[in-house]
């Protein structure tokens, strides 16, 4: 009898789950006119499958048309077959149209999310859908808030995922993930378990399977609901502030251009309108974002910090700075131009954008592309993390263009795009580097000086000392480039350290990744139960490091973190949590301080770019 009672309770729970999800879907699409097309994005997992089943039930009763989209990222063998299976389930549920959308991307949560969003929105636009339903649950929202909280995000990010985001709607943000699985059981549907959801190489998987269960166990139940509730409260506050910031931006922009950006492009985390928009400042018929936005300095000073930083962020996004790369550090440096003016140099932002102060205005402009402001292609100095102000010992403000990777073609392009100083009223370059005669003759520009490096390594060492107080740390250097960083860092630390080295490669004989990682030199001792800090010279795409971290986690360390001197945010193609970052630099090929070209230049005490002659000599 007890067994029968438990079974009955399970059936009742499953039926309640079906009802809960159907009610959520009904409320989400209640405003749509009869005959409207509603699409559901379905991976075949429990969340999206339960959502699809609910829409298939509700749509005909609301005189709505329903279609299904499934995205194939091509991450594993058999992904196309799995997408075809999902499509077949969709047709069996009565969806029409049903489409499989190829959206191959690097093995990165961020890259996959962007590729998936782009594919889904493109399909929704082509099909003239009135709504596109996504299966994010309350648990997904809680994980999002927790991840962004750990990264030190502001209220916009902590507000989590919105219920309504243009054509996108998320009906299940009040529904627990367990309910979607119960609903699938009640409806006789077998959900697919995506293997990436259990792959702890991804930060979200670690939060899902480790962090949230520990919080529930140690603090008590209800953590996920509390985090989701926090997101709702912050989103209401953020929406109000963003609306005020939009009005302030329109008032302070000089001169006022014709702009037509979607609200969610600037107020959420999406990019500005792409080619074909009227965001250029020249009115209809122009394409792409404006090359430059000027903001009235006197007006910015009168704004509260919350509004001022939003206005500055909006200007950077409007000009074309990548929202995924534009972080609090960048916005804070822009705000220093307004509130802590000391004659500092222009501030480099992601995607070849620069912000500077001159003639009673803050000017934000592109330094790359055919319509870049100023004289030709320019470059920006690196941004140091963890300090409240910009270093005064940087090289002159130059940008090495935007070539990606380390191929010979991109190296030559980098050398050819070395610019003159930034050329707009009152912004000089300034330099406190030695004369060119005292530098290596093959170096075109010095991006990070010896003083910058020494100062930043000292700051990083202080952070590591504080974080690992009372513990011994195993420094794991990745050969060969990390030798310089490892040596200087180890001498600056005061905590007990031991050192190990590994050498891995994914480059074969070419200068681009072969996609196959090999261990050239393994560790000499076990790291089980040890606090391990991986030391890198530079993180470019991050693909090799991502593989290495998965390999190291399988060896059972007590903790595993990453420290890198340099990072190229715009080149990242893998989802990596990097705890300690020295400098963010443009996506240009650099040498010095451990970094080489054809095994040369490692011993230079600074980081810089090569001139054309040096690149061509090294290629022979």
Binding residues: 43-48
Write the CA distances from 141 to 173, 229, 513, integer angstroms: 7, 9, 35
Phi then psi for residue 87, to 5 deg, are: -60, -40
537 noted as active-site residue: yes
Among 377, 488, 540, 584, the one annotated catalytic? 540
608 vs 598: CA distance, rounded Å: 15
CA torsion sign for 511, 515, 518, 522 is positive
Whether 452 and 385 have beta carbons less than 8 Å apart is answered as no
Q: What percent helix, strand, coil does the chain show, rounded to 5?
A: 40, 15, 40
To the nearest 10 degrees (0 to 180), the angle between helices 305-319 and 328-339 is 110
Task: Output b/e per residue, 550-559; b: 16+ Cβ within 10 A.
Answer: eebeeeebee
Which residues are CB-neighbours of 156 under 8 A, at least 6 positions away? 238, 242, 267, 268, 269
- Distance from the first to the final alpha carbon of the chain: 82
Peptide bond into 609 cis (omega under 30): no
536 noted as active-site residue: yes
Among 536, 561, 575, 584, the one annotated catalytic? 536
DSSP alpha helix (H) spans, 253-381:
263-267, 297-302, 305-319, 328-339
DSSP bridge pairs for 531: 473, 559
Among 62, 332, 600, 602, the one annotated catalytic? 602
- Burial of residue 406 (CB within 10 Å: 0-12, 13-18, 19+) is middle
511 vs 509: CA distance, rounded Å: 7
Whether 119 and 101 have beta carbons less than 8 Å apart is answered as yes
**How crowded is residue 431: how many other Cβ atoms within 10 Å of its Cβ?**
14
Binding-site residue set for ATP: 43-48
Among 537, 561, 575, 584, the one annotated catalytic? 537
540 noted as active-site residue: yes
The catalytic residue positions are 536-537, 540, 589, 602
């Amino acid at each position: 009898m007890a067994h029968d009672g438990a079974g009955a309770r399970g059936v009742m729970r499953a039926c309640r789950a079906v009802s809960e999800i159907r009610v959520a879907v009904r409320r989400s699409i209640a405003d749509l006119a009869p005959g409207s097309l509603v699409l559901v994005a379905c991976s075949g997992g429990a969340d999206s499958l339960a959502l699809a089943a609910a829409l298939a039930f509700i749509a005909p009763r609301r005189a709505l048309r329903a279609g299904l989209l499934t995205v194939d990222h091509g991450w594993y063998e058999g992904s196309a077959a799995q997408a075809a299976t999902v499509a077949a389930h969709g047709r069996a549920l009565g969806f029409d149209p049903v489409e499989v959308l190829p959206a191959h991307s690097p093995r990165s949560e961020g890259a996959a999310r962007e590729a998936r969003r782009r594919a889904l929105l493109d399909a929704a636009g082509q099909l003239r859908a009135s709504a596109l339903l996504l299966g994010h649950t309350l648990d997904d929202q809680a994980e999002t808030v927790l991840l962004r909280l750990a990264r030190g995000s502001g209220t916009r990010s902590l507000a989590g995922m919105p219920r309504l985001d243009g054509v996108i709607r998320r009906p299940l943000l009040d529904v627990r993930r367990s309910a979607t699985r119960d609903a699938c059981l009640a409806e006789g549907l077998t959900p697919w378990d995506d293997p990436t959801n259990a792959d702890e190489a991804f930060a979200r998987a670690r939060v899902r399977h480790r962090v949230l269960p520990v919080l529930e166990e140690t603090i008590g139940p209800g953590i996920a609901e509390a985090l989701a509730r926090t997101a709702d409260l912050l989103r209401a506050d953020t929406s109000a502030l963003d609306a005020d910031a939009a009005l302030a931006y329109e008032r302070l922009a000089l001169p006022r251009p014709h702009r037509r950006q979607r609200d969610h492009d600037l107020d959420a985390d999406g990019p500005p309108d792409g080619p074909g928009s009227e965001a250029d400042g020249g009115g209809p018929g122009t394409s792409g974002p404006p090359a430059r936005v000027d903001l009235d300095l006197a007006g910015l000073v009168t704004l509260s910090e919350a509004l001022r930083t939003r206005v500055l962020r909006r200007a950077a996004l409007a000009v074309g700075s990548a929202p995924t790369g534009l972080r609090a550090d960048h916005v804070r440096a822009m705000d220093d131009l307004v509130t802590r003016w000391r004659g500092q140099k222009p501030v480099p932002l992601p995607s070849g954008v620069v912000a500077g102060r001159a003639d009673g205005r803050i000017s934000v402009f592109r330094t790359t592309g055919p319509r870049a402001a100023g004289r030709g292609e320019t470059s920006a100095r690196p941004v140091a993390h963890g300090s409240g102000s910009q270093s005064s010992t940087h090289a002159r403000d130059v940008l090495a263009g935007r070539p990606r990777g380390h191929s010979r073609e991109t190296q030559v392009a980098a050398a050819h795009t070395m610019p003159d100083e930034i050329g707009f009223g009152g912004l000089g370059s300034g330099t406190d580097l030695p004369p060119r005669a005292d530098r290596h003759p093959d170096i075109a520009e010095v991006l990070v000086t010896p003083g910058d490096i020494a100062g930043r390594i000292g700051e990083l060492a202080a952070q590591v000392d504080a974080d690992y107080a009372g513990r011994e740390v195993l420094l794991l250097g990745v050969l060969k480039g990390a030798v310089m960083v490892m040596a200087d860092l180890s001498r600056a630390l005061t905590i007990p350290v031991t050192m190990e080295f590994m050498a891995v490669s994914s480059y074969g004989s070419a200068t681009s990744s072969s996609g196959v990682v090999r261990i050239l030199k393994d560790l000499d001792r076990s790291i089980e139960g040890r606090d391990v800090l991986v030391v890198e010279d530079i993180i470019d795409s991050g693909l090799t490091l991502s593989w290495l971290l998965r390999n190291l986690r399988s060896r059972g360390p007590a903790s595993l973190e990453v420290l890198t001197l340099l990072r190229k945010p715009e080149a990242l193609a893998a989802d990596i949590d990097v705890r300690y970052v020295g400098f963010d630099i443009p996506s240009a090929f650099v040498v010095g301080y451990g970094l080489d070209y054809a095994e040369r230049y490692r011993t230079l005490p600074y980081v810089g770019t090569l001139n054309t002659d040096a690149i061509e000599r090294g290629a022979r």
